[in-house]
Structure 1
Amino acid sequence: MVPAAAPDSAPLFPTATPAVHTACVLGDAELARLLADDVPHGDLTTAALGISPMPGRLSCRARQPMTLCGVEEAVRLLTLAGCTVRQLAASGDALAAEAPILEAQGSAAALHRAWKSAQVLLEWSSGLASAATELVAAAAPLPVACTRKTPPGNKALAVKAMRGGGAVMHRLGLSESLLLFAEHRRFLAEPPAATVARLQGALPEHKLAVEVHSAEEALVWARAGAEILQLEKFSPAAVIACRDLLASHELRPILAAAGGIHPGNAAAYAASGARLLVSSWPYSAPPRDVAVNLAPL
């Protein structure tokens, strides 16, 4: 039996527009692809039930404490599906359990079309942002820089999540910073000082960072003129020893501890003499649960 049409009622949000406090980093084309991926040829169940034109409402709330991320994209995604949306929180907000995130109204077809894509987007990006928040708190007062080890195909939203959690980006890509790896140096046949001089001469507006794997290697590159040393997989005690060795030679480059840093050891690294913690740990975070309620008006 085809359900009877729902009675007319006043719109839930007659003049509502999303209260966007941070920019969407996914454009309409990318969001439309998310919808098309989930509903490529229509919603078979909703259509077969005959409920597609019935008006309904949807609400999202935090099921657990979280740093919210992706709400602006979720609002736009629901809007593209044909819903009217009211945004109740912004990316970067610290939400308690049960805190409201957004509300939407539209036809059952529009709401069901966007429901799961919006929920997954919120849960995944809020998981990353919440993990970044946890790491930043554990490392305080040192800044945390997250690597470009973003999930493939999801860089823009992952970067938004890291920033929403209070971290900065270590490198967005290879185009904007100088970071000399051992993998680069294997192609060279010149002293470290010559390499440093060439890079600083070619790109004088950039600081040169060099990744090193021992205190002795750090001393070589600090003497050569590197301004930043990225200490790869040094323990906190090894960072202290490296700092003291460099200071004994009156060398004080910026030390960035990298590799294996997480909330359980961030405080020890923060006390080691490093000026910056570099980590990819937040990218492995589980999603944060977002509760969705969808019902007729």
Structure 2
Amino acid sequence: MLMLDDVALHCLLKRDRHPGVTVADATSRDSRGMTVTLRAGAAGTVCGLEEAERIFTLLGCAVDIAAASGARVETNDLLVAARGPLASLTSGWQPAQSLIEWASGVATATADFVAAARAANPGIVVACPRKAIPGARPLALKAAVSGGAVVQLGASPTPTLILAEHFAFEGAASVRNRVAQMRQTDPARPVAVEVETLAHALAAADLGADMIQLRKMRPEEVAATARSLDRGWTGQLIAAGAIPISLAAAYATSGADVLMTSMPYHAPLADIRVAFERD
């Protein structure tokens, strides 16, 4: 499982620490022993507990986590318990809470989408794009994986993507040249072509694309494209966009092989409740 490194966690501590308390002196100020607990305020899929554990560890606290990223939890379930000086706990609880709130919100939305899509089509693959919230990509990808999505299609190496703009501004001949160049440069790397219309999807298939990514097409448009491509093209068809949970079933039964949704990255925060107790 992916995990944010200490550099990123130190940045969170520097930005979100309790006013008046620095990371450097948090382990030395106020020796009163306290425990802070973080609990689930609602049922959902959690993510980021390992990073929260590391945040408190960096501040000199003893920490236990009660679940791993990707676990399903219920209301009031214990997630994290950290013990240490009050100054250390007040430096760490807000960064830890914020991180778990955002990551668990993404993980829960992803898990709900996966469940809705697979209820309609058990074989559908759900993916989240590697292009995520600026500055939050590592945590976003971890949260998506925790919710049951994939963030890389197929085996290594990662496919090369030709964007839809190449069709729009340069035409099919230019796309053909790009595909041929990629085949020559790296024959083992799959080639994906992004399109916005049925005509461009058919052209991409004729050009030898291994994957065709349908950008922001409606379910009925995806279905029409899938039917047209079913006449001999054997590649992977991807429906991509900010697909909401309410349309997961419609897309899952449209004929696409993969649903790639960015919706979870904009999900509401999970409810994470914090309480302090004196030892």
Question: Distance in 2 between the 1:107 and 1:36 partners?
Answer: 18
**1:85-131 CA distance string (max 9 Å, x none):** 11111111000111111211111111111111111111111111111
Report how many residues are paired: 266
**1:185-223 CA distance string (max 9 Å, x none):** 535783654432222122211111111111111111211
Evaluate the alpha carbon distance shift between residue 81 and residue 196 of structure 1 in structure 2; reply closer, same or farther with a 3 A threshold: same
Q: What is the Cα deviation at residue 30 of structure 1?
A: 1.9
Q: Is the 8 A contact 1:52 1:107 kept in 2?
A: yes
- Secondary structure of the 1:133 match is helix
Question: Distance in 2 between the 1:39 and 1:137 partners?
Answer: 37
Q: Is the 8 A contact 1:192 1:220 kept in 2?
A: no
1:78 aligns with 2:56: yes
Q: What is the root-mean-square deviation of aligned Cα atoms in Å?
A: 2.3
> What is the match of residue 203 of structure 1?
186
> What is the match of residue 13 of structure 1?
none
> What is the match of residue 30 of structure 1?
8
AA aligned to 2:199 is E
Q: What is the Cα deviation at residue 183 of structure 1?
A: 2.6
Moved more, 219-228 or 181-190: 181-190
Evaluate the alpha carbon distance shift between residue 111 and residue 212 of structure 1 in structure 2; reply closer, same or farther with a 3 A threshold: same
Evaluate the alpha carbon distance shift between residue 260 and residue 110 of structure 1 in structure 2; reply closer, same or farther with a 3 A threshold: closer
> What is the match of residue 217 of structure 1?
200
**1:123-145 CA distance string (max 9 Å, x none):** 11111111111111111121111
> What is the match of residue 236 of structure 2?
254
Q: What is the Cα deviation at residue 60 of structure 1?
A: 1.3
> What is the match of residue 5 of structure 1?
none
AA aligned to 2:248 is A
Question: Distance in 2 between the 1:102 and 1:41 partners?
Answer: 23
Query: Alignment identity in percent?
Result: 39
Q: What is the Cα deviation at residue 29 of structure 1?
A: 2.3
Question: Distance in 1 between the 2:6 and 2:190 partners?
Answer: 37
Matches within 5 A, 1:53-202: 53-140=31-118, 141=122, 142-170=124-152, 176-185=158-167, 186=169, 190=173, 192-202=175-185
- Secondary structure of the 2:220 match is helix
**1:41-72 CA distance string (max 9 Å, x none):** 7439xx9xxx9221111111111011110000
Evaluate the alpha carbon distance shift between residue 243 and residue 110 of structure 1 in structure 2; reply closer, same or farther with a 3 A threshold: same
Q: What is the Cα deviation at residue 238 of structure 1?
A: 1.4
- Secondary structure of the 1:169 match is coil
Q: What is the Cα deviation at residue 39 of structure 1?
A: 3.5
1:233 aligns with 2:216: yes
TM-score by length of 2: 0.88
Question: Distance in 2 between the 1:189 and 1:213 partners?
Answer: 13
Moved more, 78-87 or 32-41: 32-41
Question: Distance in 2 between the 1:40 and 1:288 partners?
Answer: 21
TM-score by length of 1: 0.83
- Secondary structure of the 2:189 match is coil
Task: In structure 2, list runs of 5 or more residues that go unmatched.
Answer: none
Question: Distance in 2 between the 1:209 and 1:177 partners?
Answer: 6
Q: What is the Cα deviation at residue 154 of structure 1?
A: 1.2
Q: Is the 8 A contact 1:149 1:283 kept in 2?
A: no
- Secondary structure of the 2:246 match is coil
AA aligned to 2:52 is A
